[in-house]
């Protein structure tokens, strides 16, 4: 039997029906002890429920309003962000604005507590 090129094999396969091609694949697998199945990639452990309840890891601390104690809020904003006095005052005056962006959960909650203790209205997003 003459050796066929890859192009000749493809042309021969194009002429086969799906049933004939399926039978060929089965025979090929049996003859060479291989499988034509795609490699399955393992998913995350724990099942599908974990995918639905994905916990947020980055939080934005939003200053909604400064409240009655504006000076105390400005001091807390300066302590949290290391901004200068003018920048911190502009941030507080421009509320609602983000005080922290992309902070981890602990840092965001701590900043929220500090700002609320100073009299501000704060939300986490």
Please report the pLDDT score of residue 78 as a whole number: 92
- Mean of pLDDT over the chain: 83
- Average pLDDT rounded to a whole number, residues 32-51: 64
Polymer length in residues for the chain: 125
Calpha distance 73→115 (Å, rounded):
6
Full-prediction pTM beyond 0.85? no
What are the Cα distances from residue 3, in Å, to 7, 15, 25, 84, 119? 12, 18, 19, 79, 85
Quick check: bond before 96 cis, omega within 30?
yes
Q: Name the residue ranges covered by the structural domains of the chain.
A: 1-36, 59-124
| Cα distance between residue 61 and residue 111, in whole Å | 7
Lowest mean pLDDT among 33-37, 59-63, 65-69, 78-82: 33-37
DSSP string of 4-56, one letter each residue: PPHHHHHHHHHTS-HHHHHHHHHHHHHHHT---PPPPPP--TT-SHHHHTPPP
> Is residue 5 over pLDDT 60?
yes
Binning pLDDT at 50, 70 and 90, where does residue 38 land?
A: low
**What is the reported pLDDT for 59?**
86
Q: What is the tens place of the pLDDT at every residue in 97-107? A: 988 888 888 88
Q: Which CATH number fits domain 59-124: 3.30.1390.10, 3.30.390.30, 3.40.50.720, 3.60.15.10?
A: 3.30.1390.10
**Average pLDDT estimate for 105-118:** 89
């Amino acid at each position: 039997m003459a050796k066929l090129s890859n192009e000749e094999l493809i042309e021969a396969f194009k002429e086969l029906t799906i049933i004939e091609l399926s039978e060929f694949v089965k025979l090929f697998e049996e003859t060479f002890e291989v499988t034509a199945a795609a490699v399955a990639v393992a998913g995350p452990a724990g099942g599908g429920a974990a995918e639905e309840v994905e916990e947020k890891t980055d939080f934005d601390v939003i200053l909604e309003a400064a409240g009655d104690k504006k000076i105390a809020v400005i001091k807390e904003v300066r302590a949290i962000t290391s901004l200068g006095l003018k920048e911190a005052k502009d941030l507080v005056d421009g509320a609602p604005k983000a005080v922290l962006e992309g902070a981890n959960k602990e840092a965001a909650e701590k900043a929220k507590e500090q700002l609320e203790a100073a009299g501000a209205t704060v939300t986490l997003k």
